[in-house]
Structure 1
Amino acid sequence: MATAVTTPKHGGTGGSSAVAARARQVVKAYGSGETRVVALDHVDVDIMRGRFTAIMGPSGSGKSTLMHCLAGLDTVTSGEIHLDETEITRLKDAKLTRLRRDRVGFIFQAFNLLPTLNALENITLPMDIAGRAPDTAWLNRVVETVGLADRLKHRPSQLSGGQQQRVAVARALASRPDIIFGDEPTGNLDSRSGAEILGFLRRSVDELAQTIVMVTHDPVAASYADRVLYLADGRIVDEMLDPTAEQVLDRMKDFDARGRTS
């Protein structure tokens, strides 16, 4: 299996990084007997801290399932998943809920903002629910990074789609989570707004030392990452470091061609 490996131009930690999340021999299956479908097939992967990782693959390849399992949003059939040194695959529901609340951030296609709250209130809502006061200095850095300083008093209905997704990004960053997961975070945005959001995610890695894992089908979006993982039939079949949009597109075309000839 050929793997494109070049020196990453992104990221600020240099050398080897600590592992923020890891999966070992993870299987996720649905159904049983003849109707059994294997979404993840003995997956091993390390997600490095302070890096931006994109997960790609054709529809049904298991990319969203992998992200959901890594994030503790879905259970595994077998295998282990660790966030930092915590194995989440055996946690009880209450502890897993607290871990997701305190240590994990999420960004999805749907902005999931409360219409009755302004931008700042939406950003701090998870911490308010948890009974934690935000770190003011950090919150100001996050707001500056995503360019929302002049929109904090606006409600979602007064914001464009791109601005609403900026609020969602700031909300994910505000509690300083160990890791942020994004499921097609630019899928509902036009190309300009999508590029802005991806730029903010890139800056959060470079300037705020954030760890981001993003599922995407878009080669341009994947080119913002330090590393692209490719899934097919529930397995990681390739990876690319320091990708360009053209390289990602060529690799996806190659996978499509293999699929048609197999």
Structure 2
Amino acid sequence: MAIDEDAAARADDVWKVYGAGATEVTALSGVSVALTRGQFTAVMGPSGSGKSTLMHCLAGLDTVTRGSVHIGRTQVTGRRDTALTRLRRERVGFVFQQFNLLPTLTARENILLPLSIAGRRPDPAWLDTVVDAVGLRDRLGHRPSQLSGGQQQRVACARALVPRPDVVFADEPTGNLDSRSSAEVLGFLRRSVSEFGQTVVMVTHDPTAAAYADRVVFLADGTLVDDLPEPTADTVLDRMRRLDTRR
């Protein structure tokens, strides 16, 4: 496939193999995909398809066995730990199913934590924009235990956006939320792309969540098997059913 060198992130013929011999498991088998800058991409597939493994490799959280990964035009593959840590800190944002907030810090302090670790000061205007976008201005002084699950995840989303990363990776970000809180978080991720030009890559099993994306890529048994532009919940569900019948 032709590779877009200006993509926000891309995988070129990526393989990921765990174990060896009788215990060897191939999680990714020659996956090549380019994730368009300023676009919301959902990654879907049956359980064990390799979708979270792909995201972790793209984000530099896991190494690849063969192939290469890039963030922008910077090669992630083969970088030393210190350089990889710096790349993730400065150019990648993360939102996980578990909110991963520090319980002793306020919402504002949690949002600013990546910048504090990097020794960077926030852009006050951008911080205000993000805080207002997630609707948390009246909760900034509260600790995580004083916030609902949806509010905690919105803090996590704001934390990912404030450093202005090249790409935000979200791994099942609504997995622990009720339908209303899920809609709030997905709505914010959608706005971050549409209004702020952010690039978001989200792993999900939920067709309704995937319908917020501009594009859905589907994995099965470690390979890329489908690519759906302009998804709806119905078209995503139909593609997932087809994948299930293949197994």
**TM bucket, shorter chain:** over 0.9
RMSD over aligned CA atoms reads 1.1
User: In 2, Cα distance between the equivalents of 1:143 and 1:17?
Assistant: 33
1:31 partnered with 2:19: yes
User: In 2, Cα distance between the equivalents of 1:34 and 1:154?
Assistant: 51
Task: Kindly indicate whether the alpha-carbon contact (under 8 Å) linking 1:52 and 1:202 is maintained by their aligned counterparts in 2.
Answer: yes
Question: 2:138 is paired with a residue of what secondary structure?
Answer: coil
Q: 2:116 — aligned with what?
A: 128
How big is each residue's C-alpha offset from its partner over 1:183-242, in whole Å with a ceiling of 9 and x where there is no partner? 000000001100110000000000110000000000000000000000001000001000
- Structure-2-length-normalised TM-score: 0.97
Structure 1 alignment gaps of length 5 or more: 1-15
Q: 1:79 to 1:181 in 2, by over 3 A?
A: same
Q: 1:244 — aligned with what?
A: 232
Q: 1:209 — aligned with what?
A: 197
- Give the one of 38, 59, 65 matched to 1:77: 65
1:178 partnered with 2:177: no
Task: Kindly indicate whether the alpha-carbon contact (under 8 Å) linking 1:53 and 1:229 is maintained by their aligned counterparts in 2.
Answer: yes
User: In 1, Cα distance between the equivalents of 2:136 and 2:194?
Assistant: 19
Alignment of 1:46-195 (within 5 A): 46-195=34-183
Question: 1:120 is paired with a residue of what secondary structure?
Answer: helix
User: In 1, Cα distance between the equivalents of 2:57 and 2:34?
Assistant: 13
User: In 1, Cα distance between the equivalents of 2:5 and 2:55?
Assistant: 20
Question: 1:186 is paired with a residue of what secondary structure?
Answer: coil
How big is each residue's C-alpha offset from its partner over 1:40-62, in whole Å with a ceiling of 9 and x where there is no partner? 00110001000000000001100
Q: Which amino acid aligns with 1:50?
A: G
**CA shift for structure 1 position 18:** 3.6
Task: Kindly indicate whether the alpha-carbon contact (under 8 Å) linking 1:17 and 1:50 is maintained by their aligned counterparts in 2.
Answer: no
Question: 2:26 is paired with a residue of what secondary structure?
Answer: strand
Task: Kindly indicate whether the alpha-carbon contact (under 8 Å) linking 2:5 and 2:73 is maintained by their aligned counterparts in 1.
Answer: no
**CA shift for structure 1 position 97:** 0.3
